[in-house]
């Protein structure tokens, strides 16, 4: 799959003055992250989200790991249904929140046992459900051990979360415009964007995502077999459409 690079550019959380990773979250920030993820408890881990997800795959051998807006072509998973199925099977459900981040989906409230979201730089937020110990005994102790003990600049984290929320709205709005444009383009043979009515995952996305449908649009051009990914940014969507028009004229 090729990609048209229109970077999302979500702001990153600040590191502390010592240069180390941020650690224990202030109570109000912890509550905010828990509310956004729908989690009973949250931690800030001193590692990138992809590393935390890799560890989850390795150490939770029977876990079902689902990408929220990650697969190609892009789609929104039905976390409610997957959570019910995972509990029936006695397996933990892990939500990879790389695309929506902390702000775009309350994955734990919907049914995930563990949600891992980027927090900027070399840090990520992990949130767990109330019944997580039943399916993965010892997980909360492991997360406690992975959490950094360094002090956190609470104001910087609060600001970063608010900026991330604003950016999620803006990139979602831009992607809606870009997807609507591509849907009408004569060179487009296939299109996936969960925010478009008629998209295969629109109904699921509407009850799963929060504050928008995300920045990712996948397009299949006539005569091609590979999907192209467009990741929209928060700039004026008209400018992004012009970039795509130029790209389509060259291909």
Q: Is the pLDDT of residue 23 over 70?
A: no
The pTM of this model reads 0.86
CA 12 vs CA 97, 155, 158, 196, 246: distances in Å:
15, 13, 11, 29, 31
Find out whether 182 and 219 touch, Cβ atoms under 8 Å.
Answer: yes
pLDDT at 24: 59
Structural domains in the chain, CATH included, are 10-156 (3.40.640.10), 167-250 (3.90.1150.10)
Q: Is the pLDDT of residue 3 over 70?
A: no
| pLDDT average, residue stretch 82-101 | 96
Find out whether 148 and 22 touch, Cβ atoms under 8 Å.
Answer: yes
Count Cβ atoms below 10 Å from residue 170 Cβ, excluding itself.
18
Q: Is the pLDDT of residue 188 over 50?
A: yes
Give CA–CA dist 70/68, Å, rounded. Answer: 5
Q: Is the pLDDT of residue 83 over 60?
A: yes
Q: pLDDT: is 221 or 30 the higher one?
A: 221
Strand order in the sheet with 114-118: 41-45, 124-128, 114-118, 93-96, 64-67
As a whole-number percent, the residues of the chain with pLDDT over 70 amount to 87
Q: pLDDT: is 224 or 158 the higher one?
A: 224
| pLDDT average, residue stretch 218-243 | 92
| pLDDT average, residue stretch 17-45 | 74
Give CA–CA dist 73/87, Å, rounded. Answer: 27
> Greatest CA span in the chain, whole angstroms?
55
Find out whether 24 and 149 touch, Cβ atoms under 8 Å.
Answer: yes
| pLDDT average, residue stretch 54-69 | 92
Which of 62-71, 75-84, 117-126, 225-234 shows the lowest mean pLDDT across its residues? 117-126
Q: Is the pLDDT of residue 156 over 80?
A: no
Residue 119's pLDDT band (cuts 50, 70, 90): confident
Residue 152's pLDDT band (cuts 50, 70, 90): low
Which of 63-77, 202-216, 236-250 shows the lowest mean pLDDT across its residues? 236-250
pLDDT at 21: 35
Q: Is the pLDDT of residue 11 over 70?
A: no
Q: In terms of DSSP bridges, do strands 2-4 and 228-231 run parallel, antiparallel, or are they unpaired? A: parallel
Give CA–CA dist 188/138, Å, rounded. Answer: 49
Residue 122's pLDDT band (cuts 50, 70, 90): confident
| pLDDT average, residue stretch 81-100 | 96
């Amino acid at each position: 799959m090729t990609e048209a690079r229109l970077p999302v550019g979500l702001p990153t959380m600040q590191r502390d003055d010592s240069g180390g990773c941020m650690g224990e979250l202030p109570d109000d920030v912890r509550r905010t992250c828990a509310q956004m993820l729908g989690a009973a408890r949250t931690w800030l881990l001193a590692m990138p989200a992809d590393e935390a997800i890799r560890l989850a795959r390795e150490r939770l051998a029977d876990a079902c790991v689902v990408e929220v807006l990650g697969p190609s072509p892009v789609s929104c998973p039905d976390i409610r249904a997957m959570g019910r199925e995972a509990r029936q099977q006695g397996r933990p459900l892990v939500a990879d929140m790389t695309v929506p981040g902390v702000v775009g989906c309350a994955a734990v409230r919907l049914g995930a046992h563990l949600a891992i979201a980027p927090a900027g730089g070399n840090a990520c937020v992990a949130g767990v459900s109330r019944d997580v110990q039943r399916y993965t005994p010892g997980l909360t102790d492991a997360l406690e051990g992975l959490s950094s003990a360094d002090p956190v600049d609470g104001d910087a984290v609060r600001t970063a979360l608010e900026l991330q929320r604003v950016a999620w709205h803006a990139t979602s709005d831009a992607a809606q415009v870009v997807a609507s444009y591509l849907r009408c383009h004569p060179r487009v043979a296939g299109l996936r964007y969960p925010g478009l009515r008629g998209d295969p995952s629109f109904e699921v996305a509407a009850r799963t995502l929060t504050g928008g449908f995300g920045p990712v649009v996948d397009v299949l051009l006539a005569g091609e077999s590979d999907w192209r990914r467009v990741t929209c940014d928060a700039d004026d969507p008209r400018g992004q459409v012009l970039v795509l028009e130029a790209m389509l004229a060259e291909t």
